[in-house]
Structure 1
Amino acid sequence: MFLPLKRIGDFRGRSRRREFWMFTLFEVAVICATGFVDRSLGEARGEGIIGSLVILAFMVPSVMVSIRRLHDTDRSGWWIWVSLVPVLGSLALLALFCMEGTGGTNRYGEDPKDADTSDDVFA
């Protein structure tokens, strides 16, 4: 869940589905919580300064874990640009994120499933 925050600045390697989706869940939970905090501080729509700062803080790790997730499916990180195509691009990227990674070593590194012997989600 916190591994993408530890691997900030690292575009190399691969990220498992579990790493990607647990980080996404953590990111959504934190952004929702900051929305509640912003509302309690008087922001009408919940889009105050705290929520905006948290979203900015999560941008870089989110893009990096997305690129590493694409690497796990043996695709270039440039596929992230598909998300700019309205609706269909985001759906295509979602499908790629849901796909199982390639087994064994691919051009982006070793299989993270083989390297990960622990079941510690909060690594």
Structure 2
Amino acid sequence: MDFQTAVKTCFQKYATFTGRARRSEFWWFVLAITIASVLISAISDFASIIFSLATIVPSIAVAARRLHDIDKSGWWQLIGFIPVVGWIIVIIWYAKEGSTVANRFGAPEKTVSEFITPE
């Protein structure tokens, strides 16, 4: 998934906490939100607060879907409130390859051929 598609998908699924999200969808969205946040905070603190409030729901939703892709409940993102150790665990989970088979959260976002690395 490319940058534009990932950001578009996350905003289309603004408050969708069901299903699964690929690593690329999650990380491209995180990058887009981070860049936009830095740029907006350079302009105005008030605008930065408004932007943060507007993007908190899709950020939580895509994080929940990302955890679903590795067969974990979206509630596990709350472990991130534990300083340092929780952050490390959550980042490792976000970076982990998704499962190749359907799990309790649905079918995989990737096709089987995308899991095979070219030699």
TM range (shorter): 0.7 to 0.9
Between 1:79-88 and 1:13-22, the stretch displaced more is 79-88
Equivalent residue number for residue 98 of structure 1: 95
The 3-state SS of whatever aligns with 1:10 is coil
How far off is 1:84 after superposition? 1.0
Question: How much is the aligned-residue C-alpha RMSD, in angstroms?
Answer: 1.4
User: Which structure's CA Rg is the greater one?
Assistant: 1
Q: Work out whether 1:81 is the aligned partner of 2:78.
A: yes
Distance 1:10 1:51 in 2: 24
Q: Work out whether 1:8 is the aligned partner of 2:6.
A: no
Q: Work out whether 1:26 is the aligned partner of 2:23.
A: no
Structure 1 moving runs of 4+ over 6 Å: none
* Percent of paired sites with the same residue: 33
Which amino acid is the alignment partner of residue 52 of structure 1?
I
How far off is 1:114 after superposition? 2.1
Give structure 2 stretches of 5+ with no counterpart: 1-6, 115-119
Distance 2:26 2:59 in 1: 9
Distance 1:76 1:36 in 2: 36
Distance 2:77 2:38 in 1: 24
How far off is 1:8 after superposition? 1.3
TM-score, normalised via structure 1 length: 0.83
Q: Name whichever structure is richer in helix by fraction.
A: 2
Distance 2:8 2:28 in 1: 8
TM-score, normalised via structure 2 length: 0.86
